[in-house]
Structure formats: structure tokens, C-alpha cells
């Protein structure tokens, strides 16, 4: 389930609405709401989002959660032109494993991606002096 699918369902349930009722309020078919909630449809167009914000009277926090969920629910990845061969290979490896990653693998990947920020945080002492100097090069 995508972050958008999760938040859409959460917003609907929080308002004690059935999918059919939410569909009527938003002006869409119940099958479309269902497809969005189960993730078989990708994130919707801005028209749907605008209606959702207005018709569900989303507060600022809910709108921010929705914005973040939409950003995290992109289905296409654009590799920057500045990416090197190793980054392309990493993207390929992830692509072949998506949908089959174990929670521990996800946790480790997230940790590895956070290392760059931790390496530059003087409060963190992840490496010895020599290793830290090598990361600055």
C-alpha cells in the first residue's frame, strides 16, 4: 500500500465514511476510491486532491500529511544526469527487489542512506579519524 493510499483511507475512516459515501461527496465512482485506497491506481491528479481538501475540509496538518504522502507515492524514479554508474546499478538492484524487500532490509537501506548526513554531523562519531578524513575527500 502506498503512503497516499494509506492516508486516503485514514482520512475517510476518520470521517466515518464508507467508500461509497466518500465517492459521492467527491464526485467520483466508488470503484475509483477503492482503487486509490488499495493502490491499484497511482496517485490522482491535482483536481482530485483539490476536491479532497475542500470536501473533507482538511486542516493544515492533514494537508501537509497528504502532500508528503503524495510525494512519497511517486511510482516513477528519475535518475539525475549527474548519477554515476554505481548509482544506476543501485537503482537497478532496488527495482528488481521492490515488493519483496524484508523489513530488516528496508531498515538497513534507510540507515545506509542516512550515513551521509551522520558523517557530517560532528555529534556523531561513526568512524575513526582516518575513516572520517576519507569521507571528507
What is the reported pTM?
Answer: 0.71
Residue 29 has pLDDT above 50, yes or no: yes
Would you state the pLDDT for residue 74? 87
Would you state the pLDDT for residue 77? 83
Give the separation between CA 137 and CA 127, rounded to whole angstroms.
Answer: 14
Where in the chain is CATH 1.10.260.40?
3-72
**Contact call for residues 87 and 79 (beta carbons, < 8 A):** yes
Would you state the pLDDT for residue 129? 47
pLDDT digits (tens, 9 = 90+) for 81-137: 999 999 999 999 999 999 899 999 999 999 998 888 766 655 655 554 444 444 444
Residues of the chain by 3-state class (helix, strand, coil), percent to 5:
65, 0, 35
Give the separation between CA 15 and CA 10, rounded to whole angstroms.
Answer: 9
The residue to which cell 530488516 is assigned: 104
Decide which of 1.10.260.40, 3.40.50.300, 2.60.40.10, 3.20.20.70 is the CATH code for 3-72: 1.10.260.40
Amino acid at each position: 500500500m502506498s503512503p497516499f493510499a494509506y492516508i486516503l483511507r485514514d482520512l475517510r475512516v476518520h470521517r466515518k465514511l464508507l467508500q461509497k459515501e466518500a465517492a459521492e461527496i467527491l464526485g467520483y465512482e466508488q470503484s475509483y476510491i477503492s482503487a486509490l485506497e488499495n493502490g491499484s491506481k497511482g496517485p490522482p491528479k491535482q483536481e482530485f486532491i483539490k476536491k479532497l481538501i475542500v470536501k473533507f475540509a482538511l486542516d493544515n496538518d492533514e494537508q501537509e500529511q497528504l502532500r508528503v504522502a503524495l510525494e512519497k507515492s511517486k511510482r516513477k524514479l528519475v535518475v539525475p544526469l549527474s548519477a554515476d554508474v554505481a548509482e544506476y546499478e543501485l537503482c537497478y538492484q532496488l527495482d528488481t527487489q521492490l515488493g519483496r524487500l524484508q523489513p530488516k532490509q528496508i531498515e538497513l537501506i534507510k540507515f545506509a542512506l542516512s550515513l551521509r548526513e551522520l558523517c557530517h554531523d560532528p555529534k556523531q562519531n561513526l568512524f575513526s579519524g582516518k575513516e572520517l578524513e576519507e569521507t571528507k575527500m
